[in-house]
A and B are shown apart, each in its own frame.
Chain A
Amino acid sequence: MAGAEKRKGGNPGVATLEKETPPRVKVKLIPIFVMGKRYMVPEGLTIMKAMEYAGYKFIRGCGCRGGVCGACGTVYRKPGDYKIYTGLACQTVIEPDMYLTQMPFYPANRASFNLENLTSAPEEINKLYPELFRCVACNACTKVCPMNIEVMDTVSYLKQGNIAKAVELSFDCIQCGLCASRCFAEMPQYHIFQLARRIYGAKISPRSKHLIEADETIESGKYEEPLRKLMSADEKELRKLYQERETEPLETGDDWQPKKTEYLSIS
């Protein structure tokens, strides 16, 4: 690493912790095939760490390393098994003799739109993505989704005009593109789901009134003076005010109110 020489006598606080590198001692090595080529790697690693162990340095195919960004979609098979398996390289633990390839990118067209001009009518989605109706219900998308999203069902809800349900089903989509790679109807499901979520968030689910009120109360200048006082208070005074804050109990309903209302909008 850029000159980060190993320093001796690390923190006792981390003496028991390893940096994120695969273990080196006395581990059992198992074979995996990366794009057909065999590598012996320590068992128990994720596909991502196993590939790094084998000598790969990622530029593509690695983003969050935490299962949420969709950079590391991976397709694999196992010997003697007709099935196609998929997973996220950063989440999936290797199995002996699996053979895999990463799919860091899959071309998918996205329709441009101006959210302000869209209504919440389901037809809007159909207009932008008419290929929705080419779905043949083969379910290949659902089978391939590493997030276990019911992709085909989401598509059918959209065809039926049930945007709310589609949003609920697709909420965990990380836009890895694997569904689009398998789609008989050649549609970019995840772009369509994104559009549905945006329409839902902006046009279907009710806007938060208290948010608008809070914003407007601030605009009205109501807190200006108390805030300016805090800004010029010395540390001792601040510590005192901090200690005196009344804390909302964990197990109360949303309508809980503090005793002191001086610095609230209702005062």
Chain B
Amino acid sequence: MPYPEGLQKYIKKVEETRPERVERRRRGEEFPALSPEGREEMLQYHPDYKEEGRRELKVGTNKGYKIPHEFADLLEAKSRIDPDVVNLSAIDYETDVLVIGGGGAGTAAALLAQEQGAKVILATKLRHGDANTMMAEGGIQAASKGWKDSPYYHYLDVLGGGHFQNSPELVYTLVTQAPGVLRWLEGLGVAFSKDKNGKLESMHGGGTCRKRMHYCSDITGSEIMRTIRDEVRNRSQDIEVIEFSPAVELVLNEHGHCAGAVLYNMETEEYFIVKARAVVLATGGCGRLHVQGFPTTNHYGATADGIVLGYRVGVGVCFLHTVQYHPTCAIFPEQIEGLLLTEKFRGAGADVLNVDGEKFVFEREPRDVESGAFIKECLAKGKGVPTPTGKLGIWVDSPMIDLLSGEGTVRREFMGKWKVFNRQGIDISKEPMLVYPGLHYQNGGLVYNANCETSVPGLFIAGEVSGGVHGANRLMGNSLLDVHLFGRIAGRSASLYAQESYQEGKLTLEHVKAYHKELDDAGITTDRVAPMLLPDYTEPAVRERQLTASYLGTLR
């Protein structure tokens, strides 16, 4: 279905203002970026700043910390298993390093742990590679062009994006190891977009002062994910992958060290015990919690499981009060609602426009500011574009890209998106796209250090499940970097720990009992269980007819 009649008149307005906007771009004239005060003002419209959206945690390491209800609901919930009925002496798998999560962070960790000589089990919820990493399109940052960029500027950008609240150690690690990570990926066969001399293509992302975003066409995450997954398959002698088996609880030993996990085979509904000398938790993000009802760009399994697992063994959380909304998610047609339209569109020259076809904000503000500006334009100023499905949107004027960089650029550089829209009867090299902010990234997470250690010996974390490196807001392209970089470190650290520091001891789930008791003591009586594992999209009417079904959380 192409754009319906009702939208045509708004598209006309975009077309009317386009020639002049293109001219301004050609002259290098930019819409002025916001001042610090201007940014602050926009942020007031950001969902994070809404008090009703959050509440104080009543239990655990961060008791009293105010976070979105959706997180608090999970942290103030019971385990899926009764610790008393689990037989921890019947061990089903034993390994040096257990990696939980088969996205970029987990996969990188598995590879590095194996390289250090460890036997590895990688347990994951869906298929290996069904992960947010697979979905990343735009790119991966690294200050690789020494004649104009360096870790110094990368560092400043990361901090500015993160509201200067990031952990300096973690950012230092991020920016100084970035080129090394790209080299590693290149060596594994990741086909970065380059010129014929091998010079990497690079472009801007929101909040970057240098063009530092490297990419593989518009499927950067897929290209990386499928490559490193393929490499894991080459090493199947040492790395066993267990799919459709999410971890539902970490197992400690009598010394209080992490020593394994309980896995749940979602297909056969059996629980299995894995004993490991070290554990890497890399379960990714939280989009499917639909914080404040927002649609999400995330994969089906992004339900913040790792936060629950880590918190229950006593690891603290940080920056969970901020959640990243990506400003440009498709809002129309409905079939593709929530579909991420990478920042690269704006980086390549597409304007963002209101209902009058006018610019109202600089295109490359940090994401939280940009999202706030969109929400303000739609709701406070009444300048959103009304969609046929009763929503409001903002235009991204993609046809400008062809006008600026030559016909065919949109199709070449944004092939994936072009195809998706084309299936809906829309040619985005000729017609603009309608967007609105959507839930995209978990800025915060579990607390860790630059060796990926947590407060629990034997437990290492990496990737979107962690918090601190991006402060209160992550910049595009720094997450793909983060997950592979810290994934590598976590794998190495875990393997080292397994060889040198591991202490044999009796396995226990006492921490789960203690957590349940704490819930009771805090007066929380609930039938909620966590981790959630999968979101609930079952129609209420269907549930009503499932007369004999019993649900544990979202699962039957």
Chain A contact residues, CB within 8 Å of chain B: 1-4, 7, 9-14, 16-24, 44-46, 49, 52-55, 57-60, 62-69, 71, 91-93, 110, 112-115, 147-148, 167, 171-172, 174-175, 194-195, 197-203, 205-215, 217-218, 223, 226-227, 230-232, 235, 238-239, 241-243, 245-251, 254-258, 263-266
Q: How far is the CA of A56 from the CA of B415 in the complex (A)?
A: 32
Q: Are B391 and A17 in contact (CB under 8 A)?
A: yes
Instruction: List 4 additional contacts besides A20-B338, A52-B538; criterion CB under 8 Å.
Output: A57-B538, A92-B423, A227-B152, A263-B153
Selected interface stretch from B84-92, B190-198, B505-513: B190-198
- Shortest CB-to-CB span from A228 to chain B, Å, is 8
User: Which one of B209, B289, B419, B536 contacts A246 once the chains associate, using CB atoms below 8 Å?
Assistant: B209
Q: Are B295 and A19 in contact (CB under 8 A)?
A: yes
Q: Is B36 an interface residue (CB 8 A)?
A: yes
Q: Are B148 and A256 in contact (CB under 8 A)?
A: yes
- Chain A residues with Cβ below 8 Å from B69 are 4, 7
Q: Are A45 and B126 in contact (CB under 8 A)?
A: no
Q: Is B518 an interface residue (CB 8 A)?
A: no
Q: Are A16 and B74 in contact (CB under 8 A)?
A: no
Q: Is B18 an interface residue (CB 8 A)?
A: no
Q: Is B465 an interface residue (CB 8 A)?
A: no
Q: How far is the CA of A113 from the CA of B236 in the complex (A)?
A: 11
Chain B contact residues, CB within 8 Å of chain A: 25-26, 28, 30, 36, 45, 47, 50, 52-53, 69-70, 73-74, 77, 126-127, 129-130, 134-135, 142-153, 155-157, 159-160, 164, 168-169, 171-172, 175-176, 179-180, 182-183, 186-192, 194, 196-200, 202, 204, 209-211, 217, 219, 221-223, 226-227, 230-231, 233-234, 236, 244, 266-267, 289-290, 292-297, 299-301, 331, 334-335, 337-340, 347, 349, 375, 379, 390-392, 404, 415-416, 419-420, 423, 436, 526-530, 532, 534-539, 542, 546, 553-556
Nearest CB in chain A to that of B126: its residue: A63
Q: Are A263 and B150 in contact (CB under 8 A)?
A: yes
Q: How far is the CA of A67 from the CA of B422 in the complex (A)?
A: 14
* Known A13-B292, A171-B219, A230-B155: A66·B340 in contact at CB below 8 Å: yes
Q: Are B194 and A208 in contact (CB under 8 A)?
A: yes
- Shortest CB-to-CB span from A109 to chain B, Å, is 11
Closest 5 CB pairs of A and B: A198-B189, A3-B528, A206-B198, A265-B146, A63-B130
- Chain A residues with Cβ below 8 Å from B231 are 115
A-B contact pairs, 17 of them (CB 8 A): A3-B77, A4-B289, A13-B47, A16-B392, A17-B391, A91-B423, A202-B188, A207-B198, A208-B194, A211-B183, A214-B150, A226-B152, A230-B159, A231-B172, A242-B159, A248-B211, A266-B146
Q: How far is the CA of A266 from the CA of B436 in the complex (A)?
A: 42
- Chain B residues with Cβ below 8 Å from A195 are 230
- Shortest CB-to-CB span from A210 to chain B, Å, is 6
Q: Are A197 and B227 in contact (CB under 8 A)?
A: yes
- Chain A residues with Cβ below 8 Å from B296 are 20
Q: Are B538 and A194 in contact (CB under 8 A)?
A: no
Q: How far is the CA of A19 from the CA of B65 in the complex (A)?
A: 26
- Chain B residues with Cβ below 8 Å from A212 are 183
Nearest CB in chain A to that of B80: its residue: A2
- Shortest CB-to-CB span from A253 to chain B, Å, is 10
- Chain B residues with Cβ below 8 Å from A113 are 234
- Chain A residues with Cβ below 8 Å from B142 are 211, 214
* Known A55-B538, A205-B198, A245-B156: A64·B28 in contact at CB below 8 Å: no
Q: Are A71 and B148 in contact (CB under 8 A)?
A: no
